[in-house]
């Protein structure tokens, strides 16, 4: 009988934990655009509460502080976004198609989700100063690296060739172009040249790509 009671209590406890975590995720997603608008430095739980339908007490119940909320929000956003290029990879039948569709997708998401991308880079920069962010940032970076590597390896396959670089280098190159393009887009500057550089970088990462 004691084992039955303990088992029931355990299930109840797990459901309560799952419900708590689910609510955390929902709140993080719901406040994501407000966080992206304000940025880390200008954000507090109270300020977020003032700009959303959620009270300061509710946010404080589910999150220890703004670091906890920002990290959870970016984690939830990236969980979806790390698959953003998979459809492009799956439907590509030629190297040229993948190169063009990938560049188009990159700059579409850059324009449509610029504030959210800005929030990610804000969090990554903060991790240089605040160690509490680093584990999550490194985990997200690893998943983004894997996302880019799926593009590179498929491109190499369509070129009947092989990559010339490592996953880490490929990610660093393309992320650098993306971040520069994001800055240009937020500043109202032209990003056409950087879109061309993205295609060139893709070719440089695969042996003989320009001959495909």
The residues facing 163 across adjacent strands are 206
| Token output for 188 | 């109202």
Sign of CA dihedral 183, 187, 188, 189: negative
pTM: 0.83
pLDDT of residue 47: 87
Residues 171-177: contacts with CB under 8 Å, at least 24 apart: 171/141, 171/144, 171/145, 173/201, 173/204, 173/205, 174/148, 174/198, 174/201, 174/202, 175/144, 175/148, 177/201
Contact 46, 40 (CB under 8 A): no
- What's the pLDDT at 29? 86
What is the per-residue pLDDT for 12?
54
DSSP lists the bridge partners of residue 206 as 163
Residue-range domains of the chain with CATH: 2-211 (1.10.357.10)
Residues 109-163 have pLDDT tens digits of 999 999 999 999 999 999 999 998 899 999 999 999 999 999 999 999 999 999 9
Looking at residue 208, what is its pLDDT? 77
pLDDT means per 10 residues, the chain with 212 residues, are 55 70 89 87 85 88 90 87 92 95 94 92 92 92 96 96 96 96 94 92 86 52
Residue 180 confidence (pLDDT)? 95
Please provide residue 163's backbone torsions phi and psi, each rounded to the nearest 5 degrees.
-65, 150
């Amino acid at each position: 009988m004691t084992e039955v009671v303990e088992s029931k209590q355990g299930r109840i406890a797990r459901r309560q934990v799952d419900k708590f975590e689910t609510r955390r995720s929902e709140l993080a997603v719901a406040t994501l655009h407000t966080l992206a608008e304000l940025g880390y430095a200008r954000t507090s739980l109270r300020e977020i509460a003032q700009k959303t339908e959620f009270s300061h007490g509710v946010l404080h119940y589910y999150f220890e502080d703004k670091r906890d909320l920002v990290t959870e929000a970016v984690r939830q956003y990236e969980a979806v976004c790390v698959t953003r290029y998979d459809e492009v990879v799956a439907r590509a039948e030629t190297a040229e198609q993948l190169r063009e569709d990938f560049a188009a997708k990159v700059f579409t998401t850059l324009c449509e989700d610029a504030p959210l991308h800005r929030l990610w880079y804000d969090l990554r920069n903060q991790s240089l100063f605040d160690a509490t962010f680093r584990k999550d940032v490194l985990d997200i970076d690893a998943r983004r690296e894997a996302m880019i590597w799926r593009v590179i390896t498929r491109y190499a396959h369509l070129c009947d060739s092989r990559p010339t670089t490592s996953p880490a280098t490929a990610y660093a190159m393309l992320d650098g172009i993306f971040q520069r393009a994001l800055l240009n887009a937020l500043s109202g500057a032209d990003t056409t040249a950087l879109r061309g550089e993205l295609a060139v970088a893709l070719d440089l990462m695969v042996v003989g790509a320009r001959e495909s």
